[in-house]
Amino acid sequence: MFKFNPNVKEHKSLLGAIDVEENCYISVTTDNSWVNLMISKDGNGYDRYSMTKGSEGCFFVRLERLEQGLYFYHFETDEGRYYSSNDLWAKKPPEGYGDYQLTVTLKDYQTPDLLKGAIIYQIFPDRFCRAGNGRIEKGKILCRDWGATPTYRNQDGKVLNNEFFGGDFKGITSKLYYLKSLGVNVVYLNPIVKAYSSHRYDTGDYLKVDPLLGTEEDLKTLLSAANKIGISFIFDGVYNHTGEDSKYFNRCGNYPPYGAYNDKNSPYYDWYDFYNYPDGYASWWNFKSLPSIKKDSLSYQNFILEEVLPHYFKMGFKGVRLDVVDELTDDFVTKIRKVAKKYGAAVIGEVWEDATNKVAYGVRRKYFLGNELDSVMNYQLRDGICDFLLHRSTYYLVHVLETQKNNYPKCALDNLMNLLSTHDTVRIINNLGRSTIVTDKDRLREVYLNDEELKKGKCFAKMAYALLFTVYGSPCIYYGDEAGMTGDLDPYNRRCYPWGKEDEDFIEFIKTLAYVRNSEGLFAEGELNILYYDKNLLVFDRTDGFERIIVAASVKSVSAKLKFSQPVIDLLNKDFTPKTECEIKPYSVVILKQIKDKNL
């Protein structure tokens, strides 16, 4: 027998990450005669700690004032070694074995309150709402049919992303009260700066907004109006590359001279990595339209830190999302954080893996040790939820929940940007409803979900959003998901919002989730505990020590029943009659608030 779960206080006195000033007790329960803790700071050899034997088969050791960084550990006994994959905290752990992780942060690591308890809404600016006052530029195509399918290739077979539908700042301003009705209090905008493409990740001028979106005054009006009703905005910071058609590179000659491509004496020449001037240069994933920024270009970093970030924070933005943050140096990220903190702004990173232990380009990244990020886009949770719904298995989802609870600092865990759809993924209804996977984008233009797939996708998408709204972190709605929008790989996941043709039932479901979340303060910082799970039933609770909410999700084909020692009311289904037994219908989620007997 050997028992250890780092997410139980009896085994680890301080849950989650700890700071450099804290002492942490590690305890195991076993019938072995001796136990050693083997612990290694990342990249170093193991240190052996002989664990002290207590009563009833308990062995413990005290870890004192560890240095900032990542630590990995396992146990040695007279019967062998115990790793995380031996543990029952995930009944079906990943293949192979691995150490437990301990994250040690700076003492004063804090994250802003902006994202705690928030509901985030992501807007792809060109496709959300059009007021129609912007100006289209040369080389771009304005599509006036708001409901048309975006073009993947033009008639010459080229992927140009130069088709615009005209969504703009005034359009977003006109829908602020709609966003408020969804419970939204933070909006994440995809890039808004002047650029050639409709996605605008090919920056043309960092300090100018795209004229098709409107003027800088239009943007200020949007931010001011949003602030008055309690909605904050986060902008997209794209600091790994620019566009070839930019003020800084100017390969296309559409800007005044002195671009790096045109002139070695350009003030921007140092920004880029030329290996055979002018046409041989490093670019993002070999897309020549996206010339990469040199990692060690201090003149570029200073431009971002001293001009770009202050420009947008002073304008009223409350945070920045860092595109492909793993391609920026840790030093640059730390500098960005320092600037953001001067303005009380949040810093979110695009990270698709566990951000506490990610390795990129052979280097362990430092994102949550106290000097770096406040939050990341939680793609791991998305994968876990989808795996649960698609494969009728809770095991990977439980593994994600338990691992993130253990690895992340609590202040970052509560800030995680939890998502199901983004501009980079298939929309959640398609992901969960499609019976056959199609990856050919030319075919996808004419491939839609059939009625059965659409029904299944919406059912599972509702379950997915119910989970997203009730776990730790902040749920993020990709524009139009709440309206029942479908879409496969881009550009089809970037269709225009279907104003006047929304799925009102889905919208009402999201509004109910938002009401439940915003009405219960424990969703902001309350603990999450797994209570029960089998192959296709998951039960967890959120608690702050006083209040308790129980969430159960079932992908069983028959109803299941839960019994409670104290009465509960059903928040999601608005059944406020206290009861000690609850039925979970097939393929559904219940959100139950526990009522103390004295309150009856």
Please give the pLDDT value at position 85: 65
Tokens of 347: 């810093």
User: How, if at all, do strands 319-322 and 232-237 pair?
Assistant: parallel
Domain 2-105 has CATH 2.60.40.10: yes
CATH top class, domain 527-599: mainly beta
Q: Distance between CA 372 and CA 566 in Å, rounded?
A: 43
Q: Distance between CA 36 and CA 238 in Å, rounded?
A: 47
Q: Give phi and psi for 575, each to the nearest 5.
A: -105, 105
Segment holding 282, helix H or strand E: none
Please give the pLDDT value at position 94: 46
Query: Looking at the chain, how many residues does it have?
Result: 600
Q: Distance between CA 25 and CA 29 in Å, rounded?
A: 13
* Burial (0-12, 13-18, 19+ Cβ within 10 Å), 594: middle
Q: Which among 14, 29, 8 has a CA at the least distance from the CA of 75?
A: 29
Q: Distance between CA 596 and CA 27 in Å, rounded?
A: 33
Find out whether 222 and 172 touch, Cβ atoms under 8 Å.
Answer: yes
Q: Distance between CA 452 and CA 369 in Å, rounded?
A: 47
Q: Could you count the other beta carbons within 10 Å of the beta carbon of residue 453? A: 18
Q: Give phi and psi for 172, each to the nearest 5.
A: -65, -45
Q: Give phi and psi for 581, each to the nearest 5.
A: -140, 140
With a CB cutoff of 8 Å and minimum separation 6, the contacts of 436 are none
Q: Could you count the other beta carbons within 10 Å of the beta carbon of residue 23? A: 12
Please give the pLDDT value at position 122: 99
Q: What is the 3-state secondary structure (H, E, C) of 170-228?
A: HHHHHCHHHHHHCCCCEEEECCCEEECCCCCCCEEEEEEECCCCCCHHHHHHHHHHHHH
Please give the pLDDT value at position 463: 98
What are the angstrom distances between the C-alpha of 37 and each of 7, 193, 258?
17, 52, 61
Q: Distance between CA 116 and CA 414 in Å, rounded?
A: 6
Q: Which amino acid type is present at position 533?
A: Y
Pinpoint the residues of the chain covered by CATH 2.60.40.1180: 527-599
Please give the pLDDT value at position 599: 45
What are the angstrom distances between the C-alpha of 374 and each of 113, 234, 356, 368?
10, 13, 12, 7
Tokens of 239: 């600091």
Q: What is the 3-state secondary structure (H, E, C) of 450-471?
A: CHHHHHHHHHHHHHHHHHHCCC
Find out whether 190 and 478 touch, Cβ atoms under 8 Å.
Answer: no
Q: Give phi and psi for 75, each to the nearest 5.
A: -125, 145
Q: Distance between CA 200 and CA 494 in Å, rounded?
A: 13
Segment holding 70, helix H or strand E: strand 69-77
Please give the pLDDT value at position 597: 61
Q: Distance between CA 196 and CA 222 in Å, rounded?
A: 23
- Compute mean pLDDT per 10 residues along the chain, 600 residues long, and list them: 93 97 96 96 95 93 96 94 65 60 95 96 98 89 95 92 97 98 98 98 98 97 98 98 98 93 96 98 97 97 98 98 97 98 98 96 95 98 97 93 97 98 98 93 92 98 98 98 97 98 98 98 96 95 96 96 95 95 96 76
DSSP state of 308: I
Q: Distance between CA 297 and CA 282 in Å, rounded?
A: 14
Q: Distance between CA 53 and CA 33 in Å, rounded?
A: 9
481 catalytic residue (yes or no) = no
DSSP state of 17: -
Question: Helix, strand, or coil here: 500?
Answer: coil
Find out whether 86 and 97 touch, Cβ atoms under 8 Å.
Answer: yes
Pinpoint the residues of the chain covered by CATH 2.60.40.10: 2-105
Q: Give phi and psi for 599, each to the nearest 5.
A: -90, -5
Question: Helix, strand, or coil here: 253?
Answer: coil
User: How, if at all, do strands 35-41 and 69-77 pair?
Assistant: antiparallel
Q: Which among 419, 420, 415, 417 has a CA at the least distance from the CA of 525?
A: 415
Please give the pLDDT value at position 84: 83
What are the angstrom distances between the C-alpha of 339 and each of 179, 218, 305, 349?
29, 25, 7, 15
Q: Which of 210, 350, 481, 520 is flagged as catalytic?
A: 350
Q: Distance between CA 460 and CA 346 in Å, rounded?
A: 32
Q: Distance between CA 576 and CA 589 in Å, rounded?
A: 16
Q: Which of 168, 202, 323, 453 is flagged as catalytic?
A: 323
Please give the pLDDT value at position 150: 96
323 catalytic residue (yes or no) = yes
